[in-house]
Every structure is written in C-alpha cells, then in structure tokens.
Amino acid sequence: MYVRGVGPRVAEMLRAKGIETAEDLLYHLPFRYEDRQNPRSLDELKAGETASVIAEVRGAALLRTRKGSLFEMTLGQGRCVMKCIWFHAAYLEGKFHAGQTVAVYGKVEPSRSASHFKMIQPQFEILPDESADAQTRLLEVGRITPVYESLGGSRLASRWQRKVIFNLLETIRGAAPECLPRAILERLALPDRETALREAHFPREGTPFAQLQAAATPAHRRLIFEELFFLELGLELKRRRMKERAGIAFATNDKVREAIREVLPFHPTAAQKRALGEIVADMRVPTPMRRLLQGDVGSGKTIVALQAMLVAMENGYQAALMAPTEILATQHFLAARKLLERSSRKPRIVLLTGSLDEDRKRWNRGMINRGEAQLVIGTHALIEEKVEFDRLGLVVVDEQHRFGVLQRFKLMKKPGQAEPDVLVMTATPIPRTLALSLYGDLDLSVLDELPPGRTPIVTRRVTDERAGEVWEFVRKQVRLGRQAYVVYPVIEGTKDDHPELDFSQDEPMSDPSGIELPSQVSKARPGAPRARTGRKIEAAELFPRARQEANPWAKSGLKSAVEMHEKLRQGPLAGSRVGLLHGRLDADEKTVIMRRFERGEIDVLVATTVIEVGVDVPNATVMVVEHAERFGLAQLHQLRGRVGRGAAKSYCILMTGAPVSPLGEERLNAMVRTQDGFELAELDLALRGPGEFFGTRQAGLPEFRVANLVRDRQLLELAKQEAARFATQPEPGVSEAERARVWARLKEAWQRRYGLVEAG
Ligand code: ADP
Ligand code: MG
C-alpha cells in the first residue's frame, strides 16, 4: 500500500524500527497526549507535577561554562515566566525566537530565580504559527494532540507521524477491515477497529484526558483487547494441538505406589500431594503432558519431580532431568542416587554434562541409547550432545526460563516414538493470572506451601561501614556449627563485565546524575508506562560530567569475589574455612567446592550468583550479599532462598556499598518487608515492566505493540476467556466469514509478531 510521506528512504528507517506495513504504522500509538484545547497556564502550576504548558518564547541563549554548555529558554505568559534548561544542547542554538509559541512537557521544578518554576530537559514542540499550512494547524493546535515516540531522529518525530497517520486514516476511511467478530465487540461494548484507531490517534473533543493518558479509553481498550485476544487464541490453539498428539499413557498401580513409598524421605506437604496428583493425572492420559510446576524457592519441587520420574521408570520408560548449571545437575544427581539407594529396584542413574571427558560421555550416551540407564540427569548437554534415548517417557526441566528448549525435546527421542511428557519447574513466582495467560500452552501446578519446620529468615540491610559487625556475626554462626554464603556481584576486578551477571538495567549507571536524557525517553515503547521523570535535581548536580567524576563507583569500583575471598580469609574470617566459588572455575573444581560445602568442610562460601539457583545446603544459615543494591529483586529473592532450608534460624544480610537509587531502595525495602515470592514478583513486575521481568527476548515471549501486561491485566483475563470461548463454541451471532477472518489474522499475527509458532 502506498502511504503518502513514505518514500524508499523513510521506509528503510521505519523498517529499522520494526514498522513494515501501513498497519504497523497505525498501531504505533501515541505514548502521550497534550491537551491543547485547554492548556494549563503558568500561574496554576505546582512544583513536582509533570505538566504540559503552552507559552510564548521570551528569550533563549546558549551558555558556555567550564563544565559544558547549557541551553536556557525563557517562556512567558502575561507576567509569569518559566525557565527551560537543556544540557549539552548546542544543537538548540538558533531554534527558538522570541514570540514563537512553544509547547513544553516536563517536570515542574521550583526555581530560585525570578521565574517561579523551571523545567529541566523538557520535551518541546514549536507550534505552527499563522503562516503554517492548514493541516499542520488542524492537527496541532486547539485540540488534544498526540505525541509519538520518534521513529527516526527529528525527521520522523511527532509532527511527521501526525500527518502521515492522519492521511493514512483518511485513505482507509470506511474501508479498514474488521478483524474481530461484531458480536463479540457488541457484547464487550468495544468500538470497531477503524473507529478505535482513529480515536486513539486523534481523540475526539471531550475525551477525558486522564483516560487517554492511562490508555483506558474505549479506543485503547479495543486495540489492547485485540492484541491480547490473538495472543490468547494462539496459546489456546497450541495447547489444543498438543492434546491431539500421541503421548504415553502411564499406568499407576500399587507397584508404582510402592516404588515411590520406598524412597520418599518425608511426608509430602499438601501442596506437593496436590501437584503430584495433577502431574500423574496428566501422565495417565495418552496425550503429551506440558505442565509448569511453579513453587517458591525451597517449596520442595525436586521431590515432586522425582516421584513423577519414578512413575515413568516403573512403567519401563526412561526419565531425564535437565538442570541449568553443572553444579545443579551434579547436586540433583547425587541426591537422586542417594534417594534411590533405598529402592529395591536399583535403577541406573547417569550424569551427562558438557564437562565430562569424551570417553565418559560416550559411555554414558551408550547407556542411555541402549536403555541401560533409567534415570538421566544433565545439563543442556542432553540436547547438545545429541543423546538419543531408547525409550524416553518424561523430561523434567529444572529452573527453566528459556522456552526455546521446549521445542527441541524431539531431538531426544527416537523417530516414530510417542511424544514424551514434559514438566517444567520454575522458582520464578509469576503472578497467577499472568502465568495462566502467558504460559497458556502449559498447564499449571503451584506449590504454595513450604515444608514444615521452617523458621522465617531474618532480613536486614546495612551499609558496608558496618561490615565489621557483619563478619563478627558470621564468625559467631560458624562457631555454632553453621555455614554462610557471602555473595559478590563480580568475579574479579571491579567492572561488571561478566556474563554471569544479570543486573536489572534500571539504574542510571551510565548517567549517574539521574537526569533523564532524550535518548532514554525515546527508548520506551509506546503504550508502555513512561519512564519516571528525573529525580529532583540540585543546582550543583546540573552537570552530568561533574557528577560522574564524583560518582563513588568510578573510584572504588566493585568488590569482587576473588579479592574479598583473600581479604576475608586473612582478615575478618581468619580461622574459619573459607571457600571460593564462581563461574570461571572449571566444572570439576566447582563440584569439589560444592561437595565440601555440603559436607560442612567449608564454613563460609564466598561466591558470585552461580549459587543463585537451586543449591541446597540446609546447614547454611547466613546469606550475606554485598553491593545488594546492584542485584535485581528476583535475584535477591533467589539468593535468600539458599538459607532457611533447615530448622535453624536463618539470616539474610543485605549490605550496600554506595548511594542507593530510589528503585534500589524500593527493592531492598521490599526484601526486608516480605519473604513472599509472589508479592516480590508483583513488585518486580511493577518496577521493571514485563519485558525486563520475563526477559522477553530470551523467553521468546511476544513484544506488544499496544498492550502492557502490568497495566492491562484485566483485559488479559478477558481476552483469555473470550479466546477460549471462541475456540470452543461458535457464537451464534458470528458468521463463517468472520471466523475465517479471525483464523487468517491469527496465523499472520503469530507468524509475524510472536514468532512462537511451533513447527509440527
Ligand atoms: P526447590 O523447590 O527450591 O527446588 P527443594 O526441592 O530443593 O526446593 O527442597 C528444599 C528442601 O526442602 C530440601 O532440603 C528438601 O529435601 C526439603 N523438603 C522438600 N519437601 C519436604 C517435605 N515435604 N518435608 C520436609 N522437607 C522437605
Ligand atoms: Mg530446585
């Protein structure tokens, strides 16, 4: 389709932003609106609020100082004036002239000078004057005006998009095909597609402004619903298709029950019983199981999985357990071997990880291939080494975040054999509605109860000035026969350039001033909640460069595991047995260290986040995290979950070594306040947004154009219900043509947007 204003060059720029069709452009919604019908006047502003103001330029100047340049513009309205300030903004020179009308948007800050207020780095737009063409005036003055994320420099900024989108909407007037059945829209009181698009871009006069900013107008709701509906419909379909595949019907009888009873070391919790019941029910039916077992750290997922694997083994099938790290795989291997010693059947267990030597690997592969090994525990090597199982019945994936792996189990079974059952375990507590909706192609079991006898973990935050007291405390615990972890964000050196780390990227580390630069503003996606505007800035903080030098990180850097291991061993923890564990040790070394810690031959384990997932040493009662402000909430929660696994009282000490950002404060305070993984997950989701939270790209989850999973959770639920309903029972009012259109669109949407389509 030919779009006015889009030639080959521009098309190329748009493509770089993921906009390839006219439709993509139409779904690129404004990220905010400016009310230019009833502009706020300067004398009614309040310090601290974020506002949009239309006023006249009184003067502008570029000031050069020793530290850099500063562009200042004064806006006036009657007798009120306001200053606007931009840093390093030589590019603004000559842009403003006295008498121009300008719209600015930013946080209103108090000012000590003659003007009452100032705005720092506001977004701005010079409004068209009488000489501008009629259309520009129509779109930008005296109305609710859409503001867009730029699609390429100043050329494809808001003004350009307004025109192109306006013209596009004119071109398709009355001809935009509807993709949702009319009957559904009527039932939900949502507008048709064309109306929704038109009004989301160019809101009608009188549209409540707050509703617009919150993306909650009927127009927005319709477009969000549409996007989520197709997501949910796709997931629903995927699940149905899986149910049509040939799987294995495992039998459960007294023999199987006895095999489980023999090895079970304790009474399962009610939650464990329920989850196992759900899993076994899936295993009994002849369709492949795809189930997610979700349970907070320490809730006892492993034993549930082991029981499921026993069911498979008792039925004459092989079971495989895949862990994300060699440490965990080894730990599972040793634990399983110990448990199964009590089994009268003595199943063969083999370990398969990448670091085994070639002979060993070949030997183990042979055992697996000939069916001589009943239980196989390993890492990704199970997939990478092209292990072919003799009769694979059940695959358990522990702590799985990367979903791509699900598709690859086919590689592990012999061609022509039935699809194995798959159980995915995760300790990432995902709010239930989100889990149900996003992992719609998996069934869900939740362990919402901890095994008995746990005492709550005492969590404290301290600054590292009090390190002396912390080490004293660790020594005391060691004297009592307990063990401790001390975790650092980096292995060695002071720079956080290690892949092992997974910091949440919300800190303005590269720009410690906290001043929001235009580049940061444009990074956010449309429809997503906007980044908060910069913190309150003092005059002395105005120059990012100066602040950077004063930034303590620049000088002191980070404490590292290697360095601190030495220091602690020789200093504060001299006399204790201190070990070191990090991702750069080779696998054998890691295993040896872990084994020694498990056996109590190491008192204090200095480590990086390699110990984050799954490690289980009940005698460890202290978790010290240094530079705790550098870790994400999910990580901190995982780390804390390493202690509190036995009956003894446990402690988590979060040490901070630098000024903590406001977001960091929120995270640390949340850790102190609650131990509930789901509550922390909710907060994490709210702080980071769904993309960061789920690690969108890595998880293969969709990027949304208009929806936002935190904001739009209710619509997500609605979309899920509607999708299920649409897939099951044709609604009377829905015509064949409408249904066909929905399916066609689903196919296209999934292929293009989500790329989640599973082959075969
Ligand atoms: P996670 O869910 O984090 O993987 P684990 O499976 O590692 O948790 O279990 C945590 C600890 O709790 C282990 O030491 C395990 O042996 C123990 N455990 C699990 N279930 C029970 C139970 N029902 N009663 C007592 N201890 C249990
Ligand atoms: Mg585990």
Q: Is the CB of 266 under 6 A from ligand 1?
A: yes
Closest ligand 1 atom to the C-alpha of 297? 3
**DSSP 8-state assignment for residue 752:** I
Closest ligand 1 atom to the C-alpha of 301? 2
Q: Is the CB of 616 under 6 A from ligand 1?
A: yes
d(CA 458, CA 717): 36
Ligand 1 pocket test, pick from 272, 274, 303 with the greatest ligand atom count within 8 Å of Cβ, gives 303
Same domain, 303 and 348: yes
Closest ligand 1 atom to the C-alpha of 641? 3
Q: pLDDT band for 504, please (50, 70, 90 cuts).
A: very low
Q: Is the CB of 297 under 6 A from ligand 1?
A: yes
Q: How far is the CA of 304 from the centre of ligand 1 (A)?
A: 9
Phi, psi (rounded to 5 degrees) for 422: -130, 130
- CATH classification at residue 340: 3.40.50.300
Task: Give the pair of three-digit tokens for residue 758.
Answer: 């599973």
370 part of a folded domain? yes
Q: List pLDDT tens digits, range 288-302.
A: 998 989 888 778 999
Nearest alpha carbon, ligand 1 atom 10: 298
Q: Is the CB of 451 under 6 A from ligand 1?
A: yes
Q: How far is CA 383 from CA 47, 229, 365, 410, 598, in A?
A: 59, 34, 12, 10, 29
Q: List pLDDT tens digits, range 87-100.
A: 888 888 889 999 99
Checking if the pLDDT of 757 tops 50, the result is no
Same domain, 280 and 333: yes
Q: Is the CB of 234 under 6 A from ligand 1?
A: no
Tokens 């869900």 -> residue: 444
Q: Which residues contact 28 (CB under 8 A, 6 or more apart)?
A: 19, 148, 149, 151, 161, 165, 526, 705
For helices 301-314 and 270-284, give the axis angle rounded to 10 degrees. 30
Looking at per-residue pLDDT, the higher value among 231 and 399 belongs to 231
Q: Which residues contact 470 (CB under 8 A, 6 or more apart)?
A: 462, 624, 653, 655
Checking if the pLDDT of 110 tops 80, the result is yes
Looking at per-residue pLDDT, the higher value among 662 and 540 belongs to 662
Looking at per-residue pLDDT, the higher value among 219 and 662 belongs to 219
Q: How far is the CA of 379 from the centre of ligand 2 (A)?
A: 14
Checking if the pLDDT of 176 tops 70, the result is yes
Cβ atoms within 10 Å, residue 127 = 18
Q: pLDDT band for 235, please (50, 70, 90 cuts).
A: confident
Closest ligand 1 atom to the C-alpha of 303? 6
Q: List pLDDT tens digits, range 248-277.
A: 999 999 999 999 999 998 999 999 999 999
d(CA 61, CA 544): 20
Same domain, 140 and 119: yes
Structure confidence at residue 7 (pLDDT): 83
13 part of a folded domain? no
For residue 329, give the amino acid letter.
A
Q: How far is the CA of 746 from the centre of ligand 1 (A)?
A: 42
Exposure letters 339-356 (e unless 16+ CB within 10 A, then b): bbeeeeeebebbbbbeeb
Identify the helix (H) or strand (E) that includes residue 194: helix 193-201
Q: Which residues contact 646 (CB under 8 A, 6 or more apart)?
A: 618, 619, 621
d(CA 377, CA 709): 36
User: How many distinct structural domains can be found in the chain?
Assistant: 4
Q: Is the dihedral of CA 44, 48, 49, 53 positive or negative?
A: positive
> Residue 723, Cα to own-chain centre: how many angstroms?
25
Structure confidence at residue 432 (pLDDT): 64
Closest to 275 measured CA to CA, from 239, 251, 300: 300
113 part of a folded domain? yes
Cβ atoms within 10 Å, residue 575 = 11
Structure confidence at residue 473 (pLDDT): 96
Q: How far is CA 53 from CA 101, 130, 208, 417, 518, in A?
A: 10, 20, 18, 68, 18
Q: How far is the CA of 332 from the centre of ligand 2 (A)?
A: 9
Mean pLDDT of 728-733: 81
- 3-state DSSP assignment of residue 492: coil
Nearest alpha carbon, ligand 1 atom 17: 300
* Domain end position, chosen among 654, 674, 694: 674
Same domain, 427 and 463: no
Structure confidence at residue 591 (pLDDT): 84
For residue 396, give the amino acid letter.
V
Same domain, 531 and 654: yes
Same domain, 502 and 631: yes
Q: pLDDT band for 521, please (50, 70, 90 cuts).
A: very low
Same domain, 513 and 616: yes
Q: Is the CB of 642 under 6 A from ligand 1?
A: no
**Ligand closest to CA 297:** 1
Q: Which residues contact 180 (CB under 8 A, 6 or more apart)?
A: 190, 193, 225, 226, 229, 742
Q: List pLDDT tens digits, range 670-715.
A: 999 998 887 888 888 777 766 565 554 444 455 678 988 778 888 9
Closest to 603 measured CA to CA, from 617, 616, 615, 585: 617
Same domain, 634 and 531: yes
Query: Out of 267-271, 348-352, 446-450, 509-513, which region has the weakest mean confidence (pLDDT)?
Result: 509-513
d(CA 195, CA 250): 53
Structure confidence at residue 456 (pLDDT): 83
Q: Is the CB of 557 under 6 A from ligand 1?
A: no
Same domain, 36 and 95: yes
d(CA 370, CA 390): 6
Q: Is the CB of 118 under 6 A from ligand 1?
A: no
- Which DSSP string do the residues of 583-604 spell out, in sequence order? TTS-HHHHHHHHHHHHTTS-SE
Q: pLDDT band for 495, please (50, 70, 90 cuts).
A: low
Phi, psi (rounded to 5 degrees) for 563: -60, -45
Q: List pLDDT tens digits, range 422-459.
A: 998 887 767 666 666 666 677 889 898 888 877 789 99
93 part of a folded domain? yes
d(CA 395, CA 308): 10
Q: pLDDT band for 669, please (50, 70, 90 cuts).
A: very high
Same domain, 320 and 198: no
Structure confidence at residue 269 (pLDDT): 94
324 part of a folded domain? yes
Same domain, 556 and 597: yes
Nearest alpha carbon, ligand 1 atom 13: 300
Number of H helices, E strands in the chain: 27, 21
Express as a percent the part of the chain with pLDDT over 90. Answer: 42
d(CA 385, CA 369): 12
Q: List pLDDT tens digits, range 113-146.
A: 766 789 999 988 888 888 888 788 778 878 889 9
647 part of a folded domain? yes
Q: List pLDDT tens digits, range 142-171.
A: 888 999 988 887 788 888 899 999 999 998
597 part of a folded domain? yes
Q: List pLDDT tens digits, range 625-644.
A: 999 998 888 889 889 988 98
Structure confidence at residue 561 (pLDDT): 93
Q: What is the total residue count of the chain? A: 760
Q: How far is the CA of 297 from the centre of ligand 1 (A)?
A: 9
Looking at per-residue pLDDT, the higher value among 517 and 753 belongs to 753
Closest ligand 1 atom to the C-alpha of 646? 14
* Domain end position, chosen among 395, 412, 447: 447
Q: pLDDT band for 512, please (50, 70, 90 cuts).
A: very low
**Ligand closest to CA 303:** 1
Q: Where do the DSSP E strands lie in 112-208?
A: 117-120, 123-126, 144-147
* Domain end position, chosen among 379, 414, 447: 447
Checking if the pLDDT of 612 tops 70, the result is no
The overall average pLDDT reported for the chain is 82
- 3-state DSSP assignment of residue 141: coil
Structure confidence at residue 545 (pLDDT): 28
Closest ligand 1 atom to the C-alpha of 618? 14
Mean pLDDT of 574-595: 90
Same domain, 303 and 391: yes
Is the CB of residue 51 less than 8 Å from the CB of residue 12? no
Nearest alpha carbon, ligand 1 atom 18: 300
747 part of a folded domain? yes
Q: Is the CB of 298 under 6 A from ligand 1?
A: yes
Q: How far is the CA of 221 from the centre of ligand 1 (A)?
A: 44
Q: Is the CB of 268 under 6 A from ligand 1?
A: yes
Q: Which residues contact 429 (CB under 8 A, 6 or more apart)?
A: 294, 296, 677, 678, 680, 681
* Domain assignment of residue 53, given as a range: 30-213
Q: Is the CB of 646 under 6 A from ligand 1?
A: no
Q: How far is the CA of 326 from the centre of ligand 1 (A)?
A: 20
Pairing of strands 421-426, 392-398: parallel
